[in-house]
Amino acid sequence: MAEEPHLLTEEADGILIASLNRPDKLNALSAETMALFEVALHRFRDTPELKVMLVRANGRYFSAGADMKSGAPASYPRTPSGIRENHRRGLHGMHRIYDEMEHIEKPIVAAIHATCVGGGLELALSCDFRLAAKSASFSFPEGLFGVLPASNGVSRLTRICGPHWARWLIMANQKADADKAMVMGLAHDVLPDEGFDAAALDFCRHLRKNNPEQMGAAKIAIDMAAEVGRDTARHVERMANSALMLNPAYLEGVERYIKNIGGNDE
């Protein structure tokens, strides 16, 4: 019997749902998985009707990380420069794909229902929002092999959670359950296991209603503000609003907001 595709996609209410689909392999990220994911990502990027992308998984793991069996360590480059280039250009294109996820001016949501480790956690870190089911857990096993998670594991984790918690996951090789992930800032929300998929989809529907120009500008401005000083970050805010406030939707939205809250009442 033919193996099912390693990634399944469907559309619902302007949301592109991409489901990791190797439950028997704990959703290890294979070359096929990443190739199909990149196609889905470009479809999301290039289709105006698609407003939000939801990344989820089938089976008892969100993802066990990179598919170690598809590329044995013995076959990796044996020079420092070769290893660096393999990280940048190899690994099934993870660097390229994760960077594109960060750069697309639309929201991407990870719905993490269970164990999420290694490359799977790096995939989740590349999303704009991470929702965790109560049963979810997070870890980087790379320290057990004497290396670092190097497809954004260090860089994005440190930006999101800070060096304090990056040390906890990477240096101390500690796992984080859903509640700990919430404390760390790794998860935006922890939701009950029962009804988790529906709740994640409801959150995506909420995002879908927001102004797309504001969402895109906010995604860029937030990332830039995280990298620069306070004064420059304020310039970023002003530059973004100089375009957003020319959008007819701005005045319409202000009028609607004032009307809804009774802003003209004494």
Residue 73: give its domain's CATH number: 3.90.226.10
User: What are the two backbone dihedrals, phi and then psi, of residue 115, each rounded to the nearest 5 degrees?
Assistant: -60, 135
Give the count of domains, the chain. Answer: 2
Q: Are residues 135 and 185 in the same domain?
A: yes
**pLDDT confidence of residue 117:** 95
User: How large is the C-alpha radius of gyration of the chain?
Assistant: 20
Reference 136, options 110, 158, 156; nearest CA is 110
Q: Are residues 29 and 74 in the same domain?
A: yes
Cα distances (Å, whole numbers) of residue 237 to 12, 38, 194, 228: 33, 31, 40, 12
Q: Are residues 223 and 109 in the same domain?
A: no
Structure tokens at 86: 């393999």
Amino acid at 183: V
pLDDT band at 100 (very low <50, low <70, confident <90, very high): very high
175-178: list long-range contacts, CB under 8 Å, 24+ apart. 175/137, 175/138, 175/139, 176/137, 176/138, 176/139, 177/136, 177/137, 178/132, 178/133, 178/134, 178/135, 178/136, 178/137
Average pLDDT score, the chain: 90
Q: Are residues 192 and 176 in the same domain?
A: yes
pLDDT band at 265 (very low <50, low <70, confident <90, very high): very low
Residue 189 lies in a domain: yes
pLDDT at position 52 over 60: yes
pLDDT at position 110 over 80: yes
Kindly state the percentage of the chain with pLDDT values over 90.
Answer: 70
Q: Are residues 222 and 246 in the same domain?
A: yes
CA distance 70 to 18: 22
Q: Are residues 112 and 239 in the same domain?
A: no
Q: Are residues 130 and 232 in the same domain?
A: no
Give me the domain span that covers residue 61: 7-208
Residue 43 lies in a domain: yes
Residue 178 lies in a domain: yes
Helix segments in the chain, DSSP class H: 31-46, 80-89, 94-103, 118-125, 153-166, 178-184, 196-208, 212-227, 230-244, 248-261
Residue 36 lies in a domain: yes
Q: Are residues 148 and 187 in the same domain?
A: yes
Q: Are residues 138 and 186 in the same domain?
A: yes
Residue 28 lies in a domain: yes
Residue 167 lies in a domain: yes
Amino acid at 169: L
- Under DSSP, the state recorded for 3 is P
pLDDT band at 119 (very low <50, low <70, confident <90, very high): very high
Residue 2 lies in a domain: no
Residue 1 lies in a domain: no
